């Protein structure tokens, strides 16, 4: 059985691995996904910016000197931008290109395994979209501009469509709908960094901690460890009354 090693767990690597696992036949190839940074630790050809040189079909190398059984896509790959009128242009390293390159990479690998020719990567921009807060967004395609809630909904819908598998799409959409109905879950970052402090500090110390994300101390002469010991000593011995010292 052939083995396909995908190096890089970003958008391109994840979508390539997902598409391969979904479309490969049984025992046709084994897919392994790892996530180190290899651009500067291999003998792959790189350009002046340090990106891996690839051909339009996402194979590593040039037309004259290809690297056998090596493919690259995503942020670390210098993919030629065939849709640009500028000679020698490269695709921008962003999620839109990585998402589409990962899918094409999987299709091209499957095509070569089955004796077909791989296809070049060509993507024409569909415009720009961004959110400007909850319920506000902006979308632009050439002279068409949308603002406000419609653009925000388009942005959310685009990301739901980009999530792989229908199970994850439904999960993400369900979380967003519950947040719209009941609000977001609020959690203090300080409570995540120091979860033990809420049980050992005094109310004044907890108030000071909520105002500072990472305090160095909880007050004069009080640290989390000392506070914990002090709270333990404040309890009476087992079987004793706290006032009289007699058995309870």
In a domain, 138, yes or no: yes
In a domain, 7, yes or no: yes
Q: What is the tens place of the pLDDT at every residue in 125-158?
A: 778 888 888 788 999 888 889 999 999 998 888 8
Q: Are residues 11 and 61 in the same domain?
A: yes
In a domain, 122, yes or no: no
Two structure tokens written together for 34: 């790892």
Q: Residue 220 pLDDT more than 50?
A: no
Q: Are residues 35 and 67 in the same domain?
A: yes
Report if pTM > 0.85.
no
The residue out of 89, 113, 137 marking a domain boundary is 113
Q: The domain containing residue 137 runs over which residues?
A: 128-182
Q: Are residues 45 and 100 in the same domain?
A: yes
Q: Are 107 and 100 in contact (CB under 8 A)?
A: no
3-state secondary structure of 168: helix
In a domain, 96, yes or no: yes
Strand partners of residue 54: 60
Q: Are residues 11 and 82 in the same domain?
A: yes
Q: What is the tens place of the pLDDT at every residue in 159-216?
A: 888 787 888 889 988 888 888 788 777 766 666 666 676 677 666 655 555 555 444 4
Q: Are 115 and 121 in contact (CB under 8 A)?
A: no
Q: Are residues 92 and 9 in the same domain?
A: yes
d(CA 149, CA 177): 15
In a domain, 243, yes or no: no
Q: Are residues 19 and 99 in the same domain?
A: yes
Q: What is the DSSP letter of 239?
A: T
Q: Are residues 139 and 208 in the same domain?
A: no
pLDDT classification of 18: cutoffs 50, 70, 90: confident
How many domains does the structure of the chain reveal? 3
Q: What is the tens place of the pLDDT at every residue in 99-116?
A: 888 889 889 999 988 889
Distances (CA, A) of 65 to 4, 52, 77, 89: 21, 13, 16, 20
In a domain, 215, yes or no: yes
């Amino acid at each position: 059985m052939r083995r396909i090693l995908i190096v890089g767990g970003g958008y391109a690597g994840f979508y390539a691995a997902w598409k391969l696992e979904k479309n490969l036949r049984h025992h046709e190839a084994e897919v392994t996904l790892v996530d180190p940074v290899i651009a500067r630790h291999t003998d792959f050809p790189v350009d002046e910016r340090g990106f891996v040189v690839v051909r339009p079909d996402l194979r590593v190398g040039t037309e004259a000197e290809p690297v056998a059984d090596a493919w690259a896509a995503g942020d670390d790959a210098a993919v030629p931008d065939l849709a640009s009128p500028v000679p020698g242009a490269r695709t921008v390293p962003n999620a839109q290109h990585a998402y589409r390159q990962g899918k094409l990479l999987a299709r091209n690998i499957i095509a070569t395994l089955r004796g077909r020719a791989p296809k070049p990567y060509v993507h024409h921009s569909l415009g720009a979209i961004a959110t400007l807060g909850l319920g506000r967004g902006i979308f632009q395609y050439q002279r068409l501009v949308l603002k406000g809630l419609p653009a925000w909904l388009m942005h959310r819908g685009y990301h739901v469509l980009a999530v792989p598998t229908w199970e994850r799409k439904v999960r993400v959409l369900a979380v967003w709908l519950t947040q719209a109905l009941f609000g977001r879950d609020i959690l203090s970052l300080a409570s995540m960094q120091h979860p033990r402090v809420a049980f050992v500090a005094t109310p004044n110390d907890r108030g000071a901690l909520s105002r500072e994300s990472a305090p160095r101390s909880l007050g004069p002469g009080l640290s989390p460890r000392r506070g914990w010991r002090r709270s333990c000593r404040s309890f009476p011995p087992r079987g004793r009354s706290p006032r009289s010292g007699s058995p309870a």
